[in-house]
Amino acid sequence: MAKYKPSNEDQMVMLPISLQDQLVPGTLEHTIHRLVDENINLSVFDERYKNDVTGAAAIHPKSLLKVILLAYARGMISSRQIERACHENILFIALSYGYAPDHSTIAAFVSSMQKEISSIFSNILLVCEELGLLDGTHFSLDGVKLSANVSKEWSGTFDELKHKRDKLQEKLQRVIAEHVQADAQPEVELKRQKKRERRFQLQVERLNRFLQEQEPKYGSEGREIQSNVIDNESAKMPSAHGVIQGYNAQALVDSKHQVILAAEAFASQDHENLAPMLEGAKKNLAAIGKEPTYFEGKELTADSNYHSFNSLTWCKDEKIDAYIPDIQYRKRDPRFADQERFKDGVHGRRRPEAKSDMFTAADFSFDASKQVYLCPHGKELACHARNQTNRYRTYDIYHARPEDCAACPLKARCLSKSTSSRRYLSIPVDTQPPNLIDEMKAKIDSEEGKRIYARRLGIVEPVFANICVQKRMHRFTLRSKRKVDVQWTRKRFALVHNIAKIHTFGVLI
Ligand code: SF4
């Protein structure tokens, strides 16, 4: 017959635990512990605390920093999760010296670090430099769109928001009327009505406050763009998961071990962010003793989203050897000649046929005597505006007359269905010096250009894969650019990433 030891959970056990022994050399938590203790100047936090005469002793910032860094490295996003870990997980208990900080302490520490975070990021960058993790010859820039901690429902132009407020006010009036009727009804129904009424009232107040205190936002083309009532610094932007309300999180990466040199969250498109990112990297590098000319003559690769006249001009002025292709470069590359095999889509969905027989600018001829363009139907297009600039070039715009196009038998080849009833013709201004767009096309189409640009994929894409997929950092949990920037820039994402690089490739002495 089987004989077992008694299963008695009703007993008290005392285990001797050395917190120090939990931090085993060679583990990430040990690296974090050593880095924070020995390489990060924590005196920058001292001025926050004014409790030397009165007040209780605060939890040391190094303890909070260690706990938060380990939590982020493990994909823990919320302060409550971190608080729970500090109660239950021996590694977190060891890093927090058994104090188990409250979730509100953690959240307040995270969201108020914008002043100190630059110094911490530079300290870590200096360690990377001392351990030889920086190569300093090739850099790659990329970005990922991450949702902000807001709802798209609260976005709109000022007119749309006013309309939303009016609708809510109507709803509120209806709910108040129902409330009056519900007075004679049971108490449960009355409570429900009151709750709804209060909710609508708060929403109307919030919208009113926003419309009074904020100004409409305008895009680069002068049109009003959507504001967001909850976080007005975030923006609506297309992402891999459809249109999101969020931020465009950017990172500039060194090629050797994919250490992040600069990271910042923007509410703008990639092509507007190249110069600010390189300037940010210069500041970070200056803090570890690098010259402002650090990027001169070095290779910089970025995808076609960064391709713009302004970006290329900036790189040329800074003497950076940039490789930023235009959106058509794959069509010119013979290696992608058979990409058409995917034209039916991966699940058999047929893509719309390309409109290959549509008229292009080459089908329009210029009449120098009248200073007009003649369309394939022999009609004149007059100059409507000169020197209009877009992301790539400066254009003169010519317009056809709507009545000419309305009766034109060729309009199916000239006007797309979505455009208005007349043809617009954009003619690049040839005299624009220098033509950096064409220079970049020639550079990127060369064998050397293709070879260098191909490195981008292996340098910067794994960084975002590591951060967004492996560490599950796929959304911001704070609001406003200032706080989101702290989350992305140096603490939560880039800082943790760089510490992991030190842990993997560096040897702390
Ligand atoms: S649609 Fe207008 S611009 Fe185009 S060919 Fe006809 S008349 Fe000319």
Report the separation in Å between the CA atom of 377 and the middle of ligand 1, taken as the mean of its atom positions. Answer: 6
Would residue 341 count as lying in a domain? no
DSSP structure class, residue 508? -
Give per-residue pLDDT as tens, 456-481. Answer: 999 999 998 888 887 777 788 888 88
Mutate to test the pocket of ligand 1, among 372, 415, 419 (most ligand atoms within 8 A of CB): 415
Q: Are residues 303 and 281 in the same domain?
A: yes
Strands 299-302 and 321-323: parallel
Amino acid at 261: L
Confidence grade of residue 418 (pLDDT, cut at 50, 70, 90): low
Residues paired with 388 in a beta bridge: 395
Would residue 285 count as lying in a domain? yes
pLDDT value at residue 342: 64
Report the separation in Å between the CA atom of 416 and the middle of ligand 1, taken as the mean of its atom positions. Answer: 11
pLDDT value at residue 225: 85
Q: How many CB atoms lie within 10 A of CB 419?
A: 10
Report the separation in Å between the CA atom of 438 and the middle of ligand 1, taken as the mean of its atom positions. Answer: 29
- Smallest CA-to-CA distance from 440 within 335, 339, 306 is with 306
Report the separation in Å between the CA atom of 370 and the middle of ligand 1, taken as the mean of its atom positions. Answer: 18
Q: Which ligand 1 atom is the nearest neighbour of the CA of 378?
A: 8
Of the two residues 190 and 213, the one the predictor is more confident about is 213
Q: Which ligand 1 atom is the nearest neighbour of the CA of 408?
A: 6
Of the two residues 393 and 290, the one the predictor is more confident about is 290
Helix (H) or strand (E) holding 406: helix 402-406
Mean pLDDT of 221-227: 80
Give per-residue pLDDT as tens, 239-262. Answer: 877 888 999 999 999 999 999 999
Q: Are residues 295 and 166 in the same domain?
A: no
pLDDT value at residue 327: 86
Mutate to test the pocket of ligand 1, among 374, 410, 417, 419 (most ligand atoms within 8 A of CB): 410
pLDDT value at residue 341: 66
Report the separation in Å between the CA atom of 423 and the middle of ligand 1, taken as the mean of its atom positions. Answer: 6
Mean pLDDT of 443-454: 93
Mean pLDDT of 97-124: 84
Mutate to test the pocket of ligand 1, among 397, 423, 426 (most ligand atoms within 8 A of CB): 423
Q: Are residues 141 and 260 in the same domain?
A: yes
Q: Are residues 490 and 407 in the same domain?
A: no
pLDDT value at residue 15: 87
Is the Cβ–Cβ distance between 111 and 477 less than 8 Å? no
Mean pLDDT of 400-407: 87
Q: Are residues 172 and 310 in the same domain?
A: no
Give per-residue pLDDT as tens, 10-60. Answer: 899 898 889 989 999 999 999 999 999 998 888 888 888 888 888 888 899
Q: Are residues 291 and 315 in the same domain?
A: yes
pLDDT value at residue 416: 75
pLDDT value at residue 91: 94
For 375, residues 6+ apart whose C-beta sits below 8 A from its C-beta are 359, 363, 364, 381, 400, 404, 414, 423
Report the separation in Å between the CA atom of 385 and the middle of ligand 1, taken as the mean of its atom positions. Answer: 19
Would residue 372 count as lying in a domain? yes
> Ligand 1 atom 4: the closest Cα is on which residue?
414
Would residue 344 count as lying in a domain? no
Is the Cβ–Cβ distance between 321 and 299 less than 8 Å? yes
Q: List, chain by chain if needed, residues with CB within 6 Å of any ligand 1 atom.
A: 375-377, 379, 400, 404-405, 408, 410-411, 414-415, 423
Confidence grade of residue 434 (pLDDT, cut at 50, 70, 90): low
Would residue 343 count as lying in a domain? no
Compute the distance between CA of residue 57 and CA of residue 59 in angstroms, rounded to an integer: 7
Domain containing 418 equals: 361-391+394-431
Report the separation in Å between the CA atom of 378 and the middle of ligand 1, taken as the mean of its atom positions. Answer: 8
Compute the distance between CA of residue 376 and CA of residue 364 in angstroms, rounded to an integer: 6
Is the Cβ–Cβ distance between 259 and 125 less than 8 Å? yes
pLDDT value at residue 24: 92
Q: Which ligand 1 atom is the nearest neighbour of the CA of 422?
A: 2
Report H helices in 466-493. 481-486
Longest dimension (CA), the chain: 112
Mean pLDDT of 161-169: 89
Give per-residue pLDDT as tens, 487-503. Answer: 776 546 788 889 889 99
Q: How many domains does the chain have?
A: 4
Q: Are residues 211 and 258 in the same domain?
A: no
Compute the distance between CA of residue 153 and CA of residue 27 in angstroms, rounded to an integer: 44
pLDDT value at residue 296: 93
Compute the distance between CA of residue 485 and CA of residue 250 in angstroms, rounded to an integer: 10
Q: Are residues 93 and 38 in the same domain?
A: yes
pLDDT of residue 350 exceeding 70, the answer is no
pLDDT value at residue 182: 63
pLDDT value at residue 302: 95
Q: Are residues 75 and 202 in the same domain?
A: no
Q: Are residues 204 and 319 in the same domain?
A: no
Q: Which of 77-91, 120-134, 353-367 shows the lowest mean pLDDT across its residues?
A: 353-367
Most confident of 81-90, 104-113, 168-177, 201-210: 81-90
pLDDT of residue 114 exceeding 90, the answer is no
Confidence grade of residue 138 (pLDDT, cut at 50, 70, 90): very high
Confidence grade of residue 343 (pLDDT, cut at 50, 70, 90): low
Amino acid at 35: L
Query: Mapping DSSP to helix (H, G, I), strand (E, B) and coil, where does residue 322 land?
Result: strand
Q: Which ligand 1 atom is the nearest neighbour of the CA of 401?
A: 2
Range list of β-strands (E), 211-285: 217-218, 224-225, 227-228, 235-239, 242-254, 260-266
Signed CA dihedral, 58, 62, 65, 68: sign only: negative
Q: Which ligand 1 atom is the nearest neighbour of the CA of 415?
A: 1
Strands 242-254 and 138-147: antiparallel
- Smallest CA-to-CA distance from 476 within 202, 230, 204, 133 is with 230
Q: At what angle do helices 274-286 and 117-130 cross, to 10 degrees?
A: 70
| CATH code, 292 | 3.30.420
Q: Which of 141-145, 313-317, 390-394 shows the lowest mean pLDDT across its residues?
A: 390-394
Report the separation in Å between the CA atom of 220 and the middle of ligand 1, taken as the mean of its atom positions. Answer: 30
pLDDT of residue 435 exceeding 80, the answer is no
Q: How far, in whole angstroms, is CA 88 from its chain's centroid? A: 33
pLDDT value at residue 103: 92
Report the separation in Å between the CA atom of 408 and the middle of ligand 1, taken as the mean of its atom positions. Answer: 6
Distances (CA, A) of 347 to 337, 343, 351, 353: 21, 11, 11, 17
Would residue 90 count as lying in a domain? yes
Signed CA dihedral, 303, 309, 311, 317: sign only: positive
Would residue 469 count as lying in a domain? yes
Q: Are residues 166 and 206 in the same domain?
A: yes
Would residue 81 count as lying in a domain? yes
pLDDT value at residue 353: 56
pTM score of the predicted model? 0.77
Confidence grade of residue 200 (pLDDT, cut at 50, 70, 90): confident
pLDDT value at residue 349: 58
Averaged confidence pLDDT in the chain: 85
Compute the distance between CA of residue 97 and CA of residue 25 in angstroms, rounded to an integer: 18
pLDDT value at residue 260: 93
> Ligand 1 atom 7: the closest Cα is on which residue?
405
Q: Are residues 282 and 265 in the same domain?
A: yes
DSSP structure class, residue 434? S
Mutate to test the pocket of ligand 1, among 372, 381, 398, 408 (most ligand atoms within 8 A of CB): 408
pLDDT value at residue 54: 84
pLDDT value at residue 322: 95
